[in-house]
A and B are shown apart, each in its own frame.
Chain A
Amino acid sequence: MSVLVVIEPSAGIINKGGFELATFGKETAALSGTKCIALVLGNASNAGELGIYGADEVLTADIPTYDSMVYATTIAEATKKLDASIVILKHNANGKAAAGRIAIKLNAGLVSAVNAVPVLNGAVLQVKRGVYSGKASATYAISSPIKVITVIGNSIKPQANGSAISVSVLDLPKLTSSLELVDRKTMSGRAPLPEADLVVSGGRGFKGPENWDILLELADTLGATTACSRPVADADWRPHHEHVGQTGVAIRPNLYIAIGISGAIQHLAGVNSSKTIVVINKDPEAPFFKAADYGIVGDLFEVVPKLTAAIKKLKHE
């Protein structure tokens, strides 16, 4: 028996999201006293470091991850070969595209967007996830012999309790893809929103895209990822991948700083799982203050540069 975690490197490197899954897999494997095997899809220079964060074994399979058919066949075959009873994928574009296929191939129950380490109750796995775009949560029981779950970013803190281990290639017949990958663009720099620890987000209060410099400077000072509200993305002030909320990205960072965002229910749905929320708004009646941990009522054009300066001062101390 084992727990299989599927890790996708990004541009040849496993990032924090991959290490989170290793720790999540380790804690899930501990429920039944089995081992956690990490399967890395592609080459990653730091694959052995998964051992530091909880993997007992690290295997690699170099496959075209954009082809969900190849992806799912690989994981289903690996699950049988490694005698895995729980398969854990990341709740991202490729993980979601493959998880449903894998579940059907293995006659397994599937729960996606899981946000906490499961509970094992006899042969039944109990998992918790957000529903209604973060407005509520739900607990499910998976009763099939093999279980498939996808896990959202920032569900667990990577625990560095182990040591780096050697990496071997998973022995499976080579699969070919009928699809042609024409191009792949990756954005460098800031962490992707779903796994960012710190997020600075702007709303209509900025009055226009030309005023974003003060937000970007605050984000750079913090090492934070930038986000925005829906009206801002709809007006093309910011790229739409920055849109957080019910019809955008749902996030759960350690710190979410909302600047010039009133806090409509659809926006709150996407961010209310954040550990700490700071709201900066000139309107003391803005509904966002009710969902905030800390707030400043004031003009963002004055408050934000002061905040950046104060954080710079803290970092110098």
Chain B
Amino acid sequence: MKTLVCISKTPDTTSKISFVDGGKNFNSDGISFIMNPYDEWYALVRAVELKEKMGGTVTVINVGDASNDLVIRKALAIGADDAVRVNANAPSSFFVAKQIAEIAKKENYDLIFLGKETIDYNGAEVGAQLAELLDLPFFSFVNHLEVDGQTNILKREIEGGEETIKISGPCVISAAKDLAQQRIPNMQGIMMSKRKPLTVVEAVAVEELVSLITHELPLPKKGVTLVSADNVDELVRLLHEEAKVI
């Protein structure tokens, strides 16, 4: 079993967000970065579990500059065997998909995993684009995956329900909660991660069709109207007459 796991670096979930350069760029001052939780907790861990059960290799791939190496080393500590970093700051999801496809098309992976979305751009775009570039089936929001030789059974979340699908052959899977359980790397994993190979490659050129105009922060709330716990009727009146939501 040969798998590829695509990982991203994102601001920590507790980060306060702000922008610089007139809204153009993210202000990374005082921000700590982590591996995107969906990539780490579910995609990577499920790939490592399958390797432990069936043998094979897990490669992680990231598109980013050298500051991403910390996150890549963590993925190696959790159990990936080797890593590739495409040395570029990605301006779009299409750019990321294109870089990963360039590497993946040379390797014949049995499965390619990634998290269902990153917690910074929440686009859920890379998986579908990567699958299209590789001409592979793609399954979004997979929360259960059983691999038995050539046949894979997976469950995916759909709007208001769940589907179970049987598939043979390689595919791209976007991982949702419950696909695996978060693992904390142990000391041995951390020590070994330092010796595992991390290959850095240069990016291929991509024509961008989408450009950022600006970022904005939400307007501050006008402040809360407190209602006494003994006067719940007043809250209902406000919701009905003032906010007009019930």
Interface on B for A, CB 8 Å cutoff? Answer: 11, 13-17, 19, 37-38, 93-94, 97, 119-133, 137-141, 153, 156-167, 174, 177-178, 209-218, 221-222, 224-229, 232-233, 235-236, 238-240, 243, 245-246
A-B complex: 6 closest residue pairs judged by Cβ atoms:
A100-B128, A298-B229, A109-B209, A100-B129, A186-B161, A101-B132
Distance in Å: Cβ of A41 to nearest Cβ of chain B: 13
A99 & B16 in contact (Cβ 8 Å cutoff):
no
Residue pairs across A and B with Cβ atoms less than 8 A apart, 5 shown, are A100-B93, A104-B129, A276-B243, A303-B229, A310-B232
A124: nearest chain-B partner, CB-CB:
B211
A292 & B239 in contact (Cβ 8 Å cutoff):
no
Distance in Å: Cβ of A179 to nearest Cβ of chain B: 6
Distance in Å: Cβ of B93 to nearest Cβ of chain A: 7
Partner of A295, one of B13, B138, B227: B227
B178 & A290 in contact (Cβ 8 Å cutoff):
no
B213 & A139 in contact (Cβ 8 Å cutoff):
yes
Interface residues on A, range: 35 or more
A8: nearest chain-B partner, CB-CB:
B159
Partner of B126, one of A100, A241, A275, A303: A100
Note all chain A residues with C-beta closer than 8 A to B130. 100
B215: nearest chain-A partner, CB-CB:
A138
Q: When A96-B140, A100-B93 are in contact, do A295 and B215 touch as well, CB less than 8 Å?
A: no
| Cα separation A178 to B159 with both chains bound (whole Å) | 23
A241 & B213 in contact (Cβ 8 Å cutoff):
no
B232 & A307 in contact (Cβ 8 Å cutoff):
yes
| Cα separation A265 to B120 with both chains bound (whole Å) | 14
Tally the A-B contacts, defined by beta carbons under 8 Å: 258
Note all chain B residues with C-beta closer than 8 A to A99. 125, 128
Of the stretches A28-36, A44-52, A125-133, A158-166, the one at the interface is A125-133
| Cα separation A98 to B93 with both chains bound (whole Å) | 14
A142 & B157 in contact (Cβ 8 Å cutoff):
no
| Cα separation A312 to B137 with both chains bound (whole Å) | 50
B224 & A290 in contact (Cβ 8 Å cutoff):
yes
A241 & B157 in contact (Cβ 8 Å cutoff):
yes
Q: When A68-B138, A183-B163 are in contact, do A278 and B119 touch as well, CB less than 8 Å?
A: no
B245 & A10 in contact (Cβ 8 Å cutoff):
no
Of A178, A241, A298, which is in contact with the most chain B CB atoms at under 10 Å from its CB? A241
| Cα separation A253 to B166 with both chains bound (whole Å) | 35
A104 & B132 in contact (Cβ 8 Å cutoff):
yes
| Cα separation A21 to B157 with both chains bound (whole Å) | 21
B126 & A186 in contact (Cβ 8 Å cutoff):
no
| Cα separation A229 to B238 with both chains bound (whole Å) | 25
B122 & A131 in contact (Cβ 8 Å cutoff):
yes
Q: When A97-B140, A142-B209, A310-B235 are in contact, do A291 and B221 touch as well, CB less than 8 Å?
A: yes
Tell yes or no: A67 within 8 A of B by CB: yes
A140 & B213 in contact (Cβ 8 Å cutoff):
yes
B216 & A66 in contact (Cβ 8 Å cutoff):
no
| Cα separation A143 to B141 with both chains bound (whole Å) | 30
| Cα separation A42 to B207 with both chains bound (whole Å) | 35
Of B128, B137, B229, which is in contact with the most chain A CB atoms at under 10 Å from its CB? B128
Partner of A141, one of B120, B131, B211, B233: B211
A299 & B122 in contact (Cβ 8 Å cutoff):
no
A68 & B137 in contact (Cβ 8 Å cutoff):
yes
A184 & B17 in contact (Cβ 8 Å cutoff):
no
Tell yes or no: A203 within 8 A of B by CB: no
15 new A-B pairs (CB below 8 Å) besides A92-B158, A179-B167?
A: A10-B159, A17-B159, A97-B128, A99-B128, A100-B93, A101-B131, A132-B15, A140-B211, A141-B213, A143-B209, A183-B164, A184-B161, A247-B38, A278-B235, A294-B225
Tell yes or no: A81 within 8 A of B by CB: no
Distance in Å: Cβ of B168 to nearest Cβ of chain A: 8
Note all chain A residues with C-beta closer than 8 A to B218. 135-137, 272-273
Distance in Å: Cβ of A101 to nearest Cβ of chain B: 4
Distance in Å: Cβ of A232 to nearest Cβ of chain B: 14
Q: When A109-B210, A140-B210, A187-B161 are in contact, do A100 and B221 touch as well, CB less than 8 Å?
A: no
Tell yes or no: A296 within 8 A of B by CB: yes
Note all chain A residues with C-beta closer than 8 A to B38. 247
Q: When A101-B129, A302-B229 are in contact, do A182 and B165 touch as well, CB less than 8 Å?
A: yes
